[in-house]
Amino acid sequence: MAQKALSDRLMDLCSQHAEDIAEQWLESIIKNSHTSSFICNPKESCLRHATFMYKNLRRMYFADNPYKEVLSIMDATGYAEEQYSRRVPLSEAVYALIMMRRYVWLYAETSDLFNTTSDMYMVLQSTNRILLLFDYAVYIVIDKYEKMAKSSR
């Protein structure tokens, strides 16, 4: 039986442990000086956004049009709109997404997901794809912030 591809294992891990990863992410951004505005955000709201992203990572990762899928996920979660309405500075909203991406890898490292040397090559491929997805998410958040700022003038 062929070993399950690392990307599939990583997506399974994120989906199955989305709540745990989101909790670790939230704890980190609350303590981080670069995301101090999140201290005032309701915990449930932050966890909902992160959990939704982690549970839907597979959809984004394997999408034929990843930008379109990330946009769909970001629209569904309302992350940009909520952070903007709570007056979270754009830099903090973006940094929280960067930390969200980072926690995919921090959780994966501690889960014994990478079992062989060949896994390390596949890790590089998966890293590049996940970087792309979160780069799209960052772009979408910035774009939405700019549009909301223009419409509120």
Q: For 118-151, what is each residue's pLDDT tens digit?
A: 776 777 678 888 999 999 999 999 999 999 999 9
pLDDT exceeds cutoff 90 at 72: yes
Q: Categorize the per-residue pLDDT at 1 as very low, low, confident or very high, splitting at 50, 70 and 90.
A: very low
Confidence of residue 92 (pLDDT cuts 50, 70, 90): very high
1 falls within a domain: no
Q: Which residue has the higher pLDDT, 4 or 39?
A: 39
* Separation in Å, CA 51 to CA 64, 95, 143, 146: 23, 17, 22, 25
Residue 2 confidence (pLDDT) above 50: no
User: What integer pLDDT is reported at residue 56 of this predicted model?
Assistant: 97
> Which candidate, 146, 150, 14, 152, places its Cα nearest to that of 80?
146
Q: Is the CB of residue 25 less than 8 Å from the CB of residue 107?
A: no
Could you give the number of structural domains in the chain? 1
The predicted structure's pLDDT at residue 36:
93
Host domain of residue 86: 6-151
The answer to whether the beta carbons of residues 50 and 25 sit under 8 Å apart is: yes
CATH number, domain at 105?
A: 1.10.490.10
Per-residue pLDDT, 57 = 96
Q: How confident is the model at residue 96 (pLDDT cuts 50, 70, 90)?
A: very high
Residues 36, 130: Cα–Cα separation, whole Å: 25
Supply the mean pLDDT for the chain.
90
141 within a domain of the structure (yes/no): yes
Mean pLDDT of 22-35: 96
Mean pLDDT of 28-43: 93
Please check whether residue 100 is in contact with residue 18, taking contact to mean a CB–CB distance below 8 angstroms.
no
